[in-house]
Chain A
């Protein structure tokens, strides 16, 4: 059981913003932290790791107090928190080989080889990090994060710099590790499909506060009422074809055309964020035999 109840004043590009978080995490949960840029996700992760200080509050993990501003002596240094942390830029030490990067955490070659085998990269054990691809580096970094058998694994947008195929591979690796070692995991992510696949609980942050907290289905699915499909997109162009007004909308990485009526064509303008949805299909009526 992890109890987090913290307050910190953040000084971002949009002025000051208080980060005010109160969550309870159960052992073995896989939590995805999501929200727009600047909502405080990474800061929260860094606070849990001990890389950032807080103004007020406490973090308690099982029976140990990691930080508690009410008691001056209640503080566990980063080194003793027994966490795994996956950085966005991998942070593999360039002066050490792949194997040395792992055994630097703990001198346990057996465990190092076991982890390397799990990601199928044992053959790279003597290579230096700068000779590896981005995906290989991140998988090695994942192995390193697990070398001290952490009770808590923190992943800071671990897959954002990778291409789609590599992302899928790493998602499977993360899933496999989570199953094998069953450590509590918190992952910052922007990718809905990744969150849906991996997490058991999603926390949506906005302006430093928790906006939603629940299962991926409840937090991420945006349909409501009788809508069957709905997608958010950006309006790129409106043009006329004969008597019709056509809008070109970019949804995710696809472009679609939608017919507008004249009122909509006047109301909407290029650059608007729009929601495209269909309601239940209209029933058709047809006369049967007389």
Chain B
């Protein structure tokens, strides 16, 4: 077992973490203004936008994967434009994985942030405006520091959810070693090849990391609640 472990290729894990890091970073930048908008808007479009944001939770990953593949492939206008103009292929590489993951994990970032902003006393936001601050300054100095537990929950669950992806990653990325072969796909291939020993090592590692991450989030939120109660 130990020998197998030493000889095992851990690159899929590295790719999983790299993918999760970029996805989380990009989603955070997109989700903060989006959740702010959703929490403040009185537009009739709000339910439609919320439904659209939540869609990845209910859809099978294959549906998202299929449409991303369809939209970004070299046969589509978008895919063709990027290939001809910048010489970049948008499918079956790491970039496509990041794009697909951003769609797939969007609700995990937006929903906790939006709920936390909506639960904040309205007077904090109003007081900040009266102090002469615009929306951006209010988000940075008042909103985000006061919804820390929600920010941590959003960031960590997005990260963990991206590590746990399978369907979308398989459809959009294929399984190119060193490029798009992530840990979850590696496990699937081990099982297919009846290499249960490696599958066990990968799976147990996956369980341990996931548990540790979630434990840290809940522990932080628990501590934070004790401090403010």
Binding site for B on A (CB under 8 A): 49-51, 78-80, 83-85, 87, 89, 91, 93-95, 104-106, 130, 144-145, 147-148
B222 within 8 A of A: no
In the assembled complex, the CB of B3 is this many whole angstroms from the nearest CB of chain A, namely 52
Q: Are B130 and A85 in contact (CB under 8 A)?
A: yes
- Interface segment, B15-23, B83-91, B140-148? B140-148
The size of the chain B interface, using a CB distance under 8 A, is 17
Q: Are A79 and B133 in contact (CB under 8 A)?
A: yes
Q: Is the interface of B mostly helix, strand, loop or mixed?
A: helix
Q: Are B124 and A91 in contact (CB under 8 A)?
A: yes
Q: Are B127 and A87 in contact (CB under 8 A)?
A: yes
Distance A83 CA – B133 CA, assembled complex (angstroms): 13
Give the 6 A-B CB pairs with smallest separation, nearest first: A91-B123, A95-B145, A91-B127, A105-B131, A78-B129, A87-B123
Provide the residues of chain B in CB contact with A144, threshold 8 Å.
131
B121 within 8 A of A: yes
Distance A85 CA – B129 CA, assembled complex (angstroms): 11
16 contacts between A and B (CB under 8 A): A50-B129, A78-B126, A87-B123, A87-B127, A89-B121, A89-B123, A91-B124, A91-B127, A93-B128, A93-B141, A94-B228, A95-B142, A104-B141, A106-B132, A147-B131, A148-B131
Provide the residues of chain A in CB contact with B127, threshold 8 Å.
85, 87, 91, 93
Q: Are A95 and B146 in contact (CB under 8 A)?
A: yes
Provide the residues of chain B in CB contact with A105, threshold 8 Å.
131-132
Q: Are A79 and B146 in contact (CB under 8 A)?
A: no
Q: Are B123 and A78 in contact (CB under 8 A)?
A: no
Provide the residues of chain B in CB contact with A91, threshold 8 Å.
121, 123-124, 126-127
Provide the residues of chain B in CB contact with A79, threshold 8 Å.
129-130, 132-134
